[in-house]
Chain A
């Protein structure tokens, strides 16, 4: 079973601050996804990164896939209260099994 470790588990910051969330594994993934989940709802896909070293930007969110395709980071610039939520990374298996492995999540709270 492939494992993904996320850090930190909890993060509480003030509006306007920057933050980085990390997703690490000893396994290689064919792609890595970041999802965001709000209370009472299912996760919603934010981005997919496929190529080692790839960087994608989504407004104030920057996603990076590690060169070896084993880790990823999510950086938020000038966080806003609307960014509050549970951020989950997920890795797609590199073998024939079409399984998605999720990290344990980072609960982000942005205080106004």
Chain B
């Protein structure tokens, strides 16, 4: 089954404790992206990648890191999480030439206390 998987689905952590949210897709897509979703603000793009070893900042990259060492994986790293990073996070992937038609993962709900 074609899908985007994220792990973990739920995470509660404390301020400053480094964490990684994994994202993997099995559709051989070149484009991958991370978003955060907050009430009333819609989805905001954090980082995106057009291919292996190519990453670009989205609209809200501060406090986040990403890497794209393999085509299928695009982990999101929070080196020192803060409470304002409490949010619902989505990973998405798509073919390079139709990057706007994205397949989304199920989401990761992160709470930073």
Contact = CB atoms under 8 A, between A and B. Distances in A.
B101 to A, nearest CB: 5
B106 A42 contact: yes
Contacts of A31: 100
B104 A102 contact: no
A42 B105 contact: yes
A100 B106 contact: no
A41 B9 CA distance: 11
Contacts of A98: 31, 48, 50, 96, 99
Contacts of A77: none
Interface residues of B, number: 28
Nearest to B38: A104
Given A42-B90, A99-B48, A100-B33, A88 B105 contact: no
A97 B56 contact: yes
A9 B39 CA distance: 11
Contact of A104 (B31, B41, B90): B41
Interface string A1-29: 10010100100000000000000000000
Interface in B46-105: 48, 50, 56, 58-59, 90, 92, 96, 98-105
Contacts, number: 62
B43 interface: yes
Contacts of A102: 35, 42-45
A41 B108 CA distance: 10
Interface stretch (A43-51, A56-64, A65-73): A43-51
Contacts of B104: 42-44
Interface centre among B42, B90, B100, B105 (most CB of A within 10 A): B100
Contact of A33 (B4, B33, B100): B100
A92 interface: yes
Given A43-B43, A102-B42, A104-B40, 4 more contacts: A43-B102, A99-B58, A100-B33, A102-B43
